Structure 1
Amino acid sequence: MTLAAAGAIALVGGMAACSAPENASGSSSTDAGGSAPAGGSGTVAVACSQQEDYCQAITRAFEEATGTKTTYVRLGAGEVLARLETNPGEFDVWAGGQAENHLIANDRGHVELYVSPNAEALPEQYNDDTGIWSGFYTDSVAFCSNEKELERKGVAVPTSWDDLLDPALAGAVAMPHPATAGVGYMAMFTVATLNGGDQAKTIEYFQQLNSNVMQYSKSAATGTEQAGRGEVAVAIALDSDCEKALHAGFGDLVTSYPEEGTGYEVGAVSILDGARNPDEAKQFFDWLLTTDAQDLYADIPSFAVPTLPDAVVGENVPRQDTVNQVDWDIRQAADNRETFTKAFETDIVSSDQAK
């Protein structure tokens, strides 16, 4: 699979990795995560399912704080799950992506259970009590709209899932593909939850939406850029990605939420089974659950909400306590992923109508 990359970060080929730069002094510091573990390799490989600039910043900061040489590959959640099947041992730790995907990885035997000593500082909903994952950020599914494009089409800013079915939006909606981008599956599971888990009604909704979708992108952030450029009028996206695009210069964007309810993610970290550098992987896990790490969200800036109550929340970060969120069952979301993604391929985007 090809990799989503941005800016000056060059990912060479499908198996390439990015390395955080060394300290200017060439030596390691002992802030937050401490020095590299005694007897460890002094390196760690991260599968990063977050925004590219966040992946770059967080791995650089970890390397500077600990002296541990840190590489990463930016991959969507579906891509990580695929890579774990085809190339086990490639990564030591998985940072980012919805917690349900980490459960799936564990179900497939790819996670080493680990309870970080820093996990106790997190609110209960951001920890798996068996040690599969801990959460380090959260955000919600939203509609990221180009107000000028909506006005040109005579369509109001959407505030309902049904609003996306408006015939005036034919070919003007972007959605991430559920098989490669976690946000695409989040949208499916949200609609399923609103329909009491009824798969037939869920598939029927996305069959209707299909005629309005211009493209099913591999990356969640692609849709926000398309909306920002006016290539589509609405993108199904994370509110944090829409806000990030707005502040990157796409000034016509506006974020709205479906009134009947929307899904949300707990962005998780887990240790991968067969890690070549298990001590450094645990050190990275521990460090992500510190304010030193989570305060970086405000500095980058990223527009997701950190999970530590005392971490800095950046300016213009969408408030999650005002969003009408559905009752998100992480275990059910994990258990239904394969069923829904297969149905999406066969019943919605068949080979003769693939976008």
Structure 2
Amino acid sequence: MRSYRKTPVLALGAVLVATTAACSAPADSGSSSTSGSGSSSGTLNIACSQQEDFCQKITAAFEEATGIDATYVRLGAGEVLARLETTPGEFDVWSGGQAENHLIADERGFIERYVSPSAADLPAEYNDADGIWSGFYTDSVGFCSNQSELDKLGMDAPTSWEDLLAPELKGKVAMPHPATAGVGYMAIYTQQTLNDGDTDAAIDYFTQLHGNVMQYSKSAATGTEQAGRGEVAVAIALDSDCVKAAENGYSELVTSYPEEGTGYEVGAVSVLKDARNLDGAQQYMDWILTTEAQDLYKDVPSYAAPTLADAVAGDAVPDQDAVNKVEWDLKGAADNRDQLIELFESDVASSSSAQ
């Protein structure tokens, strides 16, 4: 069992406060540019697969810590994989997103393998010994429910995958699309794992769930916002995203987990092939795998758990040791991704009963 030191979520530390203004992005851009003293050759271009405020503030903190100019674009894991195909060399480093997606990127020739000296302190399950990826946060797939909406339906928060199939939830469930948001794919691979690798059984579950789904959203966090506003009763979401939405004003939100088991994420960082700022990319990977960097999560605030045992986590961060997790096969998740997404799109999402 792993444990993390926890402290109350504090105001942003001096490092983040001093640099946040320089890292603000136009509301419609989805990206941010920072300008520091510039001690490396060229700007570091980051593909960031985390929530916008984390991308913004961690990029700023990295720049403050290293003096390296940095810019980021916030993209879901599926979007990053697509961009690596169409515009190779656009990004120097990929920060965030499930480790299995970084394995896929490596198989497609997009990763510059780098064994960071900082990775020596990571538990083995949070690191690839060959330098494809290293993990810097972790969280789990859960159910993010609006308690008021559940009360109206006379239902408790779901505690199994079967609970989501209840007829009372018709049109009341949100799920991110697996082709664009990693948590959507994690849900599918979780079902395949729970069914002993049976692909047909996994797809059949989502075929049954389809009539209850109001929308397959592009972003992982969209469902938590829909649940928070009462547009749906339940969202399949990362527990960290649900807690974040609850802490940000959606006070009716509650997090629960399927008792039979759920998938979990090791959020990874990788250096990308053809990086224009290879030195900066390696320094970013080194930095985000330090306790000093992971201690900043509580100040962003991020509700994912750090991967270093001595890093300080905020009080509201879900206890990952208390979650019943399925046996997560990273290579299996990577190898099955294309087939499962293709089957989901053809057999599930193409039906007209969900948006």
TM-score by length of 2: 0.91
Matched to 2:274, the amino acid is G
What is the match of residue 142 of structure 2? 142
State the shift of 1:12 in Å.
6.0
1:249-304 deviation per Cα after TM superposition (whole angstroms, max 9, x unaligned) = 00000000000000000000000001111011000010011112111111111100
Aligned counterpart in structure 2 of residue 10 of structure 1, from 12, 26, 29: 26
Deviates more, 1:309-318 or 1:208-217: 309-318
Gaps of 5+ in 2: 1-22
1:15-46 deviation per Cα after TM superposition (whole angstroms, max 9, x unaligned) = x7411354xxxx57xxxxxxx4xxx4142000
What is the match of residue 188 of structure 2? 188
Distance in 1 (CA, whole Å) between partners of 2:55 and 2:252 is 27
CA contact (8 A) 2:145 2:255 kept: yes
CA contact (8 A) 1:221 1:241 kept: yes
Matched to 1:10, the amino acid is P
CA contact (8 A) 1:77 1:101 kept: yes
Distance in 1 (CA, whole Å) between partners of 2:351 and 2:203 is 17
Asked if 1:57 is matched to 2:57, the reply is yes
Percent identical among aligned pairs is 67
SS at match of 1:106: helix
Gaps of 5+ in 1: 1-6, 29-35
What is the match of residue 198 of structure 2? 198
Distance in 1 (CA, whole Å) between partners of 2:352 and 2:238 is 29
1:67-94 deviation per Cα after TM superposition (whole angstroms, max 9, x unaligned) = 1110000000000000000000000000
1:146-191 deviation per Cα after TM superposition (whole angstroms, max 9, x unaligned) = 0000010111110000000000000000000000000000000001
Matched to 1:18, the amino acid is S
Aligned counterpart in structure 2 of residue 20 of structure 1, from 7, 25, 34: 34
What is the match of residue 255 of structure 1? 255
CA contact (8 A) 1:137 1:266 kept: yes
Distance in 2 (CA, whole Å) between partners of 1:223 and 1:139 is 16
Alignment of 1:1-355 (within 5 A): 9-10=25-26, 17-22=31-36, 27=37, 36=39, 40-350=40-350, 352=352, 355=355
Give 4+ residue runs of structure 1 displaced > 4 Å after superposition.
351-354
What is the match of residue 6 of structure 2? none
State the shift of 1:9 in Å.
2.8
Distance in 1 (CA, whole Å) between partners of 2:117 and 2:43 is 21
CA contact (8 A) 1:141 1:239 kept: yes
CA contact (8 A) 1:42 1:67 kept: no
Distance in 2 (CA, whole Å) between partners of 1:260 and 1:349 is 25
CA contact (8 A) 1:11 1:18 kept: no
CA contact (8 A) 1:44 1:92 kept: yes
Q: How many residues align?
A: 333
1:287-324 deviation per Cα after TM superposition (whole angstroms, max 9, x unaligned) = 01111211111111110000011111111100000100
State the shift of 1:145 in Å.
0.2
Matched to 1:340, the amino acid is L
What is the match of residue 33 of structure 1? none
